Amino acid sequence: MSFTRVLIANRGEIAIRIAKAADALGIETVAVHAPIDERSLHLAAADQVAPLSGGDPLAAYLDIDTLLRIATDHGCDCIHPGYGFLAENAAFAAACAEAGLTFVGPAADTLELFGDKVRARALAASLDIPVAGGSPGAVADAAAAAAAAAEIGLPVMLKAAAGGGGRGMRAVERITDIAEAFERCSSEASAAFGDGAVSVERLVERPRHIEVQVLADLHGNVTHLHERDCSVQQRNQKVIEIAPALGLDASLRDRLHADAVRLAAQAGLANAATVEFLVSPETGDHYFIECNPRIQVEHTVTEQVTGVDLVEAQFRIAAGARLEEIGVVADNADQSKIAEVSAAAGRLPAVPRGYAVQARVVATGSGAISAYHEPSGAGVRVDAAGYAGYTPPPHYDPLLAKGPS
């Protein structure tokens, strides 16, 4: 099985990234854009371009019916959602399947499971993967959030139950601040994910944020591609990422990898996902917080240290390839296969080679970019969608570039 043409249901630098991977695999690309994105750089990276209608710049990229129509009209056989927008939308994945299009990502039931942070935590707990204390489900209102916080013990974190990426999150140290935090979280979650549900978790203070990249194929094979440290954040948004994590205890690293693979396998994951943990600086204990069943912004540092192109892997897995066919040995594979796969791939699969660091450049104000210069040199990689004269729309994630790594 192979793909001939993909609709990229996204914009900006991730749309460019997907187009590059598709081009390397000989897959033609169709880019979409809201009217305000007519000068977006991702349009130049695609073979074909299709406009999205509507006056709401955000809603345009969330219009499932229009995206499916465009994909069908342009002869696409698959859709890649990137990250954000509809990347974790189970209804979108199901609609793609009903339309005869392959969704380049996990199946709808997996998206539904991990899209519900409460269900995901329950699954982890059932596998004896540590989780921080929290509400048994989404809380109905601010009063219920306050009651849950009182039972869990302050401080707590209010979180969007149906999303990620730092949106819809607030740390709360006083009961009197719960009402405002709840309203803000619910409003942000509704705008970003179309679901204002909020849950409450015990806050692990000053933690390390460690996430494990996992890959799984359609044949039941699952593996990890090591971890990233995403502890440097601003307003719950990751700013600096490094792979692999520095100074991580070897036994803790092994537990994180094993827990991530077990969770992915039990959930029936097939494609790419990131399993995220918090590590207490005082005790060294780790706690599962969520699994994002999609490609992540910081996937590039994992690619740099493992040599595995994760977006190409997404396409190939969706087309039916086994992990060993893309140069990765599954955790449950016969270890005698390592030499065989290594020889075919020209390297020892997924063994970290040094370290990679990624920094994000975001638009913090309004107006056109007056000057734009990207760094270059040995070992430097930049994924970007900015250029001199470009005016970043205020309606989307403000990420303009990431790198070097």
Cα 211 → chain centroid = 11
Going from the C-alpha of 354 to that of each of 214, 230, 303, 315, the distances in angstroms are 19, 17, 12, 27
C-alpha torsion 240→9→118→138, nearest 10: 110
Residues near 140 by beta carbon (within 8 Å), at least 6 away in sequence:
none
| DSSP secondary structure of 284-325 | --EEEEEEE-S--TTHHHHHHHH---HHHHHHHHHTT--GGG
Can you tell me whether residue 7 is helix, strand or coil? strand
**Cα–Cα distance between 362 and 386 in angstroms, integer?**
10
**Cα–Cα distance between 209 and 238 in angstroms, integer?**
10
Going from the C-alpha of 129 to that of each of 50, 91, 125, 261, 307, the distances in angstroms are 45, 28, 5, 11, 29
Strands 169-172 and 156-160: antiparallel
- The one catalytic residue in 167, 208, 294, 360 is 294
Residue 235: active-site member: no
**What residues form DSSP beta bridges with 119?**
none
Q: Which residues are catalytic?
A: 294
